[in-house]
């Protein structure tokens, strides 16, 4: 037995050797396959890197293009840094905190051909507060009627039409008047003259607006005025119903005052034109939007910095105009001696409460003592007082607001 070369153990070792050889062969085969895969992966890697690099270059190029375009536009625009903007010292901390969740901008429309609209002494025929919810991107607009009886924020502390504030001290004075009387914290503005509005509408291809027969005579009178002021020619309008209007005609429509409820209806027409412009701009191509910007940039004055404009431009297609309205929500229109025809809030204090509910969804807002004092003074001057039941009053959307389209 001892002479047997192969023992049982030896046979077991032989089997192990066969197994080992087979495993080595499998391992080498696996390594060859693995090596082939690695080589193949290595072969594709440069293409993947190139593709990623190309995508990054395209994105960077787009950003640089937009940045360069905004830089160019910014350099043509009349930029004004606001240094003296104020808010009421007695504004509640919770109110300020609520408003910081929104981007609030004052829009002014002035009847001036001068680029330097601050020095021209122009009145703001359109005053619109724009509130952008930073979380939801929802936008609300509220006109402040130009003839609204308010306390000016300058040293005179006189009570006059809101439109006069811009003529006395430009955008700063107008913003301070809004902040003081309405407990706001506006720090940014955009002012356009009516030539800019005309050119923007033309660049968008005009607007389709429903006209009533009672509006035609006043519309054509305003067309005459717009041609004189802007130097842009157009034609009269004779049709009613839905009519396609060019820039001059649509701007004239936005300026009709002597129909229906005067200043109230005019502000409604202004919001209607802006809503239609937003609707059309959203479906316009980049080329048409570029044409629009190029047309108006020379006739814009603003406090917005390049970064702020860039941020707004980045989100512009996400914005949704939820609704628009006019302020005050309840009013009377008396004629007060030398002050002329006014829009008087009834009363200012409760109207401001509703405004904060509307613009900032703030149902806990309490008016500052400053607003309470101004409201009491207006009641004393005019005799018009509270017409709002805060428990039941709701703000109705404009019938032609973009929210209903």
The pLDDT score that the predictor gives to residue 375 is 97
Whether residue 320 is contained in a domain is answered as yes
Number of domains in the chain: 1
Whether residue 176 is contained in a domain is answered as yes
Whether residue 65 is contained in a domain is answered as no
Tell me the CATH number at 133. 3.40.630.190
DSSP state of 77: S
Q: How far is CA 276 from the centre of its chain?
A: 14
89 burial via Cβ count (<10 Å: 0-12, 13-18, 19+): exposed
Whether residue 1 is contained in a domain is answered as no
The pLDDT score that the predictor gives to residue 278 is 86
Q: Hey, which bits of 259-354 come out as E strands?
A: 300-302, 320-327, 331-332, 344-345
Contact 132, 139 (CB under 8 A): yes
Q: What tokens appear for 75 in the block?
A: 């350099």
pTM of the model: 0.79
Whether residue 7 is contained in a domain is answered as no
Helices (H), 77-193: 93-99, 163-182
187 burial via Cβ count (<10 Å: 0-12, 13-18, 19+): middle
The pLDDT score that the predictor gives to residue 347 is 92
Closest Cα partner for 73 from 394, 356, 309? 309
Whether residue 127 is contained in a domain is answered as yes
User: How many Å apart are CA 130 and CA 142, to the nearest integer?
Assistant: 7
DSSP state of 1: -
Instruction: State the residue range of the domain holding 85.
Output: 77-404
The pLDDT score that the predictor gives to residue 370 is 97
Residue found by looking up tokens 């409201």 in the block = 375
Closest Cα partner for 189 from 299, 309, 302, 298? 302
The pLDDT score that the predictor gives to residue 396 is 76
One digit per residue, the tens of pLDDT, for the chain of length 405 reads: 444 433 333 333 334 444 444 555 555 555 555 555 444 445 555 665 666 565 555 554 444 545 555 566 667 778 888 888 999 999 999 999 999 999 999 999 887 665 555 555 678 889 999 999 999 999 999 999 999 999 999 888 899 999 999 999 999 999 999 999 999 999 999 988 888 889 999 999 999 999 999 999 999 999 999 998 888 999 999 999 999 999 999 999 999 987 767 788 889 999 999 989 888 887 777 677 777 777 778 888 889 887 887 778 777 778 888 889 999 999 999 998 888 899 999 899 999 999 999 999 999 999 999 999 999 999 999 998 888 999 999 887 665 544 333
Residue found by looking up tokens 């903007």 in the block = 85
Closest Cα partner for 302 from 60, 89, 105? 105
Residue found by looking up tokens 């359109």 in the block = 126
The pLDDT score that the predictor gives to residue 94 is 95
Whether residue 201 is contained in a domain is answered as yes
User: How many Å apart are CA 280 and CA 274, to the nearest integer?
Assistant: 10
Whether residue 162 is contained in a domain is answered as yes
């Amino acid at each position: 037995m001892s002479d047997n070369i192969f023992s049982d153990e030896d046979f077991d070792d032989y089997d192990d050797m066969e197994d080992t050889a087979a495993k080595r062969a499998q391992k080498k085969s696996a390594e060859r396959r693995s090596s082939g895969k690695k080589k193949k992966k290595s072969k594709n890697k440069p293409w993947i890197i190139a593709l990623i690099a190309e995508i990054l270059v395209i994105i960077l190029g787009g950003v640089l293009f937009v940045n360069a375009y905004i830089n160019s536009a910014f350099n043509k625009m009349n930029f004004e840094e606001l240094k003296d903007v104020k808010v009421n010292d007695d504004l509640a901390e919770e109110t300020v905190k609520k408003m910081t969740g929104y981007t609030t901008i004052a829009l002014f429309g002035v009847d001036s051909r001068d680029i330097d609209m601050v020095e021209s002494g122009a009145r703001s025929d359109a005053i619109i507060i724009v509130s952008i919810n930073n979380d939801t991107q929802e936008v609300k607009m509220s006109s402040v009627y130009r003839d609204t009886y308010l306390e000016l924020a300058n040293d005179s502390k006189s009570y006059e039409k809101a439109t006069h504030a811009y003529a006395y001290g430009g955008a700063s004075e107008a913003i301070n008047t809004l902040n003081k009387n309405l407990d706001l914290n506006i720090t940014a503005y955009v002012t356009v003259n009516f030539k800019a509005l005309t050119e923007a509408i033309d660049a968008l291809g005009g607007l389709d607006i429903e006209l009533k027969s009672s509006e035609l005579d006043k519309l054509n009178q305003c067309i005459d005025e717009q041609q004189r002021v802007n130097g842009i020619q157009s034609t009269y309008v004779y049709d009613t119903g839905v009519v396609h209007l060019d820039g001059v005609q649509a701007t004239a429509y936005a300026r009709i005052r002597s129909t229906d409820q005067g200043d109230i209806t005019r502000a409604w027409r202004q919001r209607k034109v802006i809503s239609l412009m937003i609707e059309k701009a959203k479906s316009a191509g980049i080329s048409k939007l570029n044409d629009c910007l190029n047309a108006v940039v020379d006739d814009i004055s603003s406090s917005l910095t390049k970064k702020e404009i860039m941020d707004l431009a980045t989100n512009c297609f996400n914005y949704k105009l939820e609704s628009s309205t006019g302020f005050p929500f309840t009013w009377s229109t008396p004629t007060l001696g030398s002050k002329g025809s006014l829009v008087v809030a009834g009363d200012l204090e409760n109207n401001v409460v509703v405004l904060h509910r509307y613009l900032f969804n703030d149902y806990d807002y309490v008016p500052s003592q400053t607003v309470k004092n101004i409201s009491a003074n207006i009641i004393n001057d005019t005799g018009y007082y509270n017409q709002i039941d805060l428990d039941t009053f709701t703000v109705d959307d404009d019938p032609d607001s973009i929210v209903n389209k």
